Amino acid sequence: MLAEVARSSSNKSFSFEDGTASPDSEKFFAAYFQASSLGFALIDSELRYLLINDALAEMNGLPAAQHLGKTVREIIGDVADFLEPKLQSIFSTGEAIFNLVGSGELRHKAEPGHWTGHFIPLKDRSGSVKRVAAIVLERTQEKKMQSALADLSRQLKNHRMRLQVLHDISSILSDSWNIQQVFPAISARLRRVLQQEYAGFEVHDSGSGLLVRHVDDFPLSRGHLDTVQISSQNSPGGRALELGRPILFSGEQLAQFDAEIARRFVAEGFRSLCCVPLVRPKGPLGVFVLGSTRNNAFRPEDFELLNQVAFLLGTALENQRAQAEIQALKQRLTHERQYLEGEVRSKGEFSEIVGESHALRQVLEQVATVAPSSATVLIQGETGTGKELIARAIHRMSRNREAAFVKLNCAAIPTGLLESELFGHEKGAFTGAVSQKIGRLELADGGSLFLDEVGEIPLELQPKLLRVLQDQEFERLGSTRTIRVNVRLVAATNRDLVRSVAEHQFRNDLFYRLNVFPIHIPPLRERPEDIPLLVRYFVRKFAQRMDRHIETIPKETMAALIKWHWPGNIRELENLMERSVILSTGRALHVPPLEQLQNTPDSPIQPDERLSSVEREHIIRVLRESGGAISGRDGAAHRLGVKRTTLQSKMQRLGITREEYLPPKKQ
């Protein structure tokens, strides 16, 4: 009978010796047999193929001739575990099975397949089922198409979600550039698609080389990440920044880093870490970091979204910095304008400095020499000698004359606030710091900074000032960002800094750095020839201000003023002239008795009569030894180690006459 079936298969005709098919059913099955898209087969009770067309043979992966006489299991393999019970049920019950859906990997096919089959029993005249007709429709391509459409739908949905997340983050940052304030909302939007437990933004500090944690969002933190510094060397973020591309790290890879931050990530239970660097043409800006306690939580497909988020964060950070710089510049310009409006602008280089003495001319020559350079100048002299006027003259003659001249009196600022006044501070840097403050150093950038009473700077603050002098850089209080400045420093003091260094009250390295070009201003008692000019200048100034008409200064008054030792120097003289103009009711200047100055705040220095007596006797003895010669190599001034004018001033102050040191003339 199998031979007859085989013959029927070859000539595409159906005839059954036992009469299991009628002429109508023969036509019906012949139509299926010849169909190019439908598979057809006849299977006997032993589940062997009696007949099969080319369409079904191709579905099974073997030529039709190799099917005949073989069982279903021999042809389709393990898929028979599903099909055999169905066929046996048809033989036993005689009931057909329609729309039977099957799938699996056939023995002779390289990929899984999907089918829908109709299985119809063929009975003989006695009603027994002798054969089963199988009509099979392959649906593998349809399933592939459905799977592809489902994948595409999932991808489109995921892409739409990511676009929405990106849009939300962009909107958040457009409303506020304050990353610390809006970062939790940004992390929450990103968690919708990536389910990260940790998100952080580390900013690269070009000054220290560290990655500073600018902000993070870690609701489930165990506290291991608090206060830890992040090195840009041998750390996950540093590695991504060095390579300039996003990197995924597993928990095992994190454990291989020596950096403390990597150990803290492991302690927090992270098994996945994604570091996305942000590099600008000017250099590295920072790293966007995501962490998760799940394995393989992040994939390379996430890089596109994370790169865009990192770019938005970087742009916001740059905008925030630019806004801060603009605000700082506005404050600086405001402060500079205040300083410039308060500064007395003079037409001449030394028009504010009154005097024609040799000692003063020497000082002004030194000013003219050092002013065009950028060297640090240390102005020394007693209180009231006009150190600030000399500092302003240096600035006016410098190359930075058009920039700001900023003054800071180190003795007038409380010790606790001096550092903030000098370097500035950030909001919240200390109790009471309710807003950002621009320091005097930053205000003087491009110009000159005058530190008056520099000897009063506390020891703990001196190293920071030394760093500014050496490197021209500093940090505000409460900030890690290094600020570079170009400042010409002019310092002044009435203290003996050499003695302060010896007594360990002033750092010797700072003293040497300040003492690049020292200028000593002589006290007023050493240039008495300038006193008449100063008196006339101050009288004219105060008389004009008070609308007084003072035309004469009595000779005896001028002589007394010249003879006075002026412990308060020019400031004392200025105060006395203001008082005298107030007391003068006529056209002549009325000066109160100079002895009264000993008990006034303007003249705090009390003369030591015993010391003056010793000094007087010593000068007389040296004058006698030099034969009365004051100047010259063998003169008294050279022997005493002082200038001629200084010695003459001391002699006048101490009342030394020629008769006391010259031998009497022979009669």
- pLDDT of the residue at 65: 93
One-character DSSP codes across 334-357: HHHHHHHHHS---SSSSTT-----
270/95 Cα distance (integer angstroms): 60
Tokens of 470: 């050496």
Contacts of 169 (CB under 8 A, 6+ apart): 186, 189, 190, 309, 312
Distance (Å, rounded) from C-alpha 617 to C-alpha 620?
Answer: 5
Has residue 554 got a pLDDT over 80? Answer: yes
Q: Is 90 exceeded by the pLDDT of residue 493? A: yes
User: Phi, psi at residue 377, to the nearest 5°?
Assistant: -120, 135
pLDDT at 26: 55
| Distance between first and last Cα of the chain | 179
The answer to whether residue 389 scores a pLDDT higher than 50 is yes
CA pair distance 478, 419, nearest whole angstrom: 12
The neighbouring-strand residues paired with 380 are 493, 520
Q: Are 653 and 565 spatial neighbours (Cβ–Cβ below 8 Å)?
A: yes
> What is the SS3 string spanning 456-509?
HCCCCCHHHHHHHHHHCEEECECCCCEEECCCEEEEEECCCHHHHHHCCCCCHH
> What was the pLDDT predicted at 605?
40
d(CA 115, CA 61): 14
- CATH code: domain 2-138 is 3.30.450.20
Check pLDDT > 60 for residue 3: no
CB 530 within 8 Å of CB 360: yes
Residue 235 has pLDDT above 70, yes or no: yes
Count the alpha carbons within 13 Å of 82 in the hemisphere toward its beta carbon.
13
Q: How far, in Å, CA of 137 to CA of 59, rounded?
A: 9
Sheet holding 488-493, edge to edge: 405-409, 448-452, 488-493, 377-380, 517-520
Task: Give the span between the Cα atoms of 305 and 284, in whole angstroms.
Answer: 20
Question: What's the whole-number average pLDDT of the chain?
Answer: 83
Work out whether the CA dihedral 521, 527, 533, 534 comes out positive or negative.
positive
- CA–CA separation, 508 and 506 (whole Å): 6
Half-sphere exposure of 413 (CA within 13 A, CB side): 20
Mean pLDDT of 410-418: 81
pLDDT at 118: 94
Mean pLDDT, residues 334-345: 48
Residue 337: pLDDT over 70: no
Cβ-Cβ contacts under 8 Å for 199 (sequence gap 6 or more): 183, 186, 187, 190, 191, 216, 217, 218, 288, 289, 290, 291
How would you class 363 by CB atoms within 10 Å of its CB: exposed for 0-12, middle for 13-18, buried for 19 or more?
Answer: buried
Give strand pairing partners of 123: 129
Q: Name the 3-class secondary structure at 406.
A: strand
pLDDT (tens digit per residue) in 27-84: 555 655 655 578 999 999 999 999 999 999 999 999 999 999 999 999 999 999 999 9
**pLDDT (0 to 100) of residue 31:** 57
Alpha-carbon span 262 to 277, nearest angstrom: 17
* pLDDT, position 36: 56
Q: What does the alpha-carbon distance between residue 564 and residue 580 come to, in Å, rounded to a whole number? A: 16
pLDDT of residue 583: 86
pLDDT of 552 strictly over 70 = yes
Q: Identify which of 336, 477, 467 has the alpha carbon closest to the alpha carbon of residue 419.
A: 477
Report helix angle 140-175 to 303-342, nearest 10: 10
Cβ-proximal residues to 202 (8 Å cutoff; 6+ apart), any chain: 211, 212, 213, 214, 230, 237, 286, 287, 288, 289
Q: What is the mean pLDDT of residues 454-483?
A: 88
Where b means 16+ CB within 10 Å and e means fewer, 84-113 reads eeebeebbeeeeebeeeebebebeebeeeb
pLDDT score of 155 more than 60: yes
Q: Can you tell me which residue has the tokens 């099974």?
A: 60
Which pLDDT belongs to residue 522?
93
Largest CA distance in the chain: 185
What confidence score (pLDDT) does residue 355 get?
86
Give per-residue pLDDT as tens, 601-629.
444 444 444 456 667 877 888 888 888 88
DSSP alpha helix (H) spans, 176-250 = 179-194, 236-243
Encode pLDDT of 120-141 as tens digits: 999 988 889 999 999 999 888 8
Strand ranges of the sheet holding 247-250, from the earlier edge strand across to the other edge: 230-231, 210-217, 198-204, 283-292, 272-280, 247-250
Domain 153-321 class, CATH top level: alpha beta
Taking residues 106-111, report their average pLDDT: 87
User: Residue 332: is its pLDDT beyond 50?
Assistant: yes
Neighbours of 425 (CB within 10 A): 22
Across the range 189-211, mean pLDDT stands at: 84
| pLDDT higher than 60, residue 191 | yes
- In terms of average pLDDT, the best of 82-86, 152-156, 162-166 is 82-86
The fold for domain 343-520 equals: Rossmann fold (3.40.50)
421: confidence class by pLDDT, cuts 50, 70, 90: confident
575-585 average pLDDT score: 89
What is the model's pLDDT at position 642? Answer: 76
What's the residue count for the chain?
Answer: 667
pLDDT for 611 equals 53
pLDDT band at 156 (very low <50, low <70, confident <90, very high): confident
pLDDT at 644: 80
Determine the pLDDT at residue 274: 94
pLDDT greater than 50 at residue 341: no
pLDDT at 449 over 90: yes
The pLDDT tens digits of the residues spanning 24-36 come to 555 555 655 655 5
Expressed in percent and rounded to 5, the helix, strand and coil fractions of the chain are: 50, 20, 35
pLDDT at 198: 92
SS3 category, 512: helix
In this predicted structure, which of 142-146, 394-398, 506-510 has the lowest mean pLDDT? 142-146
Rounded percentage of the chain residues whose pLDDT exceeds 70: 87
Q: How far apart are CA 497 and CA 456, in angstroms?
A: 10
Q: Are strands 424-425 and 488-493 parallel, antiparallel or unpaired?
A: unpaired
Higher pLDDT, 623 or 158: 623
Query: Which of 148-152, 363-367, 426-430, 634-638 has maximum average pLDDT?
Result: 363-367
Residue 211: is its pLDDT beyond 60? yes
Beta bridge partners of 104: 113
Which class does domain 524-599 fall in?
A: mainly alpha
Contact assessment for residue 117 and residue 88, using Cβ atoms and an 8 Å cutoff: no
What pLDDT is stored for residue 7 in this prediction?
Answer: 36
- Is the model's pLDDT at 144 over the cut of 50? yes
- What confidence tier does 278 reach under pLDDT thresholds 50, 70, 90? confident
pLDDT value, residue 39: 93
